[in-house]
Amino acid sequence: CGVFQSFHCLLGTQTTCRFIIVGILANLAMYGMMTALAPLTAGVNTTLLDDKSAVGIVQSVFWTASILSAPLWGRLNDKNYVKQVYLLTALICGFSVVLQGLATNIWMLMIFRIVQGLTYSALIQSVMYVVVKACHRDLKGTFVGSTNSMLVVGQVIGSMFGAVVTSSYNPSITFLVMGVIFIGSSLILLFSRVNEMSEYQISMKLWELNDRRAK
């Protein structure tokens, strides 16, 4: 199974394609925020902490919440609630990002960062879960690697897009825009006809069978 074949299969199967698209959008929004986080934190920091320390704390509470919540979402995905998990967490994550842009003090910012961390941890792992469940056990590495490459596109575009928005407007606007993108990724999945796990596993197996016959 070549790399380009794996791209074709992932994007040609409706469920994996939809999840990869929303995963790219999630990465775009996440990395688009990074350019605005420091100036936003500095703007609401009225504590005795210097701005650099404040940014570090704001980031640490986000990642701590993400670490603690990730196993819970993984357990729900194991019960085949992956679509519901993504829909719920992307919506909450998006609204928490919007509220960060509206925060008037660092404590509000930290609370909404914690909420974002609790929900963001479900997004990319849900995408990877769908990909791993869809492919044959001998092709998991190829498909995960190909998916990761496509998700990195979101990081690259997000970093550039976030820099443009932050340089053109104030940091709050960047958070508002990225929050809307998170919410948009959820709506894309909500209004997509995503098949059940068993159906797209069959689709992937048929593709693998045809690939072996071609050889």
Residue of 181, 3, 205, 200 whose CA lies nearest to 82 = 200
Q: Are 173 and 165 in contact (CB under 8 A)?
A: yes
The predicted pLDDT at position 201 comes to 55
At residue 202 the predicted structure's pLDDT band, cuts being 50, 70 and 90, is very low
184, pLDDT greater than 70: yes
The predicted pLDDT at position 192 comes to 82
Reading the block at residue 151, the tokens are 């998700």
138 by Cβ neighbours in 10 Å (0-12 / 13-18 / 19+) ranks as exposed
Mean pLDDT computed over every residue of the chain:
88
Residue of 16, 27, 8, 19 whose CA lies nearest to 159 = 27
Amino acid at 211: D
CA torsion angle for 93, 81, 71, 136 (degrees, to 10)?
Answer: -120
Residue of 22, 42, 150 whose CA lies nearest to 93 = 22
Q: Which CATH class is domain 3-214?
A: mainly alpha
* Most confident of the ranges 12-21, 122-131, 203-212: 122-131
Q: What is the pLDDT of residues 85-121, one digit of tens each?
A: 999 999 999 999 999 999 999 999 999 999 999 999 9
Distant-in-sequence, close-in-space partners of 15: CB < 8 Å, separation ≥ 6: 130, 134, 194, 195, 199, 200
The predicted pLDDT at position 199 comes to 47
pTM of the model: 0.87
Tell me the C-alpha distance between 93 and 85, whole Å. 12
Tell me the C-alpha distance between 107 and 54, whole Å. 10
71, pLDDT greater than 60: yes
Domain range annotation of the chain: 3-214
Q: What is the pLDDT of residues 24-70, one digit of tens each?
A: 999 999 999 999 999 999 999 988 889 999 999 999 999 999 999 99
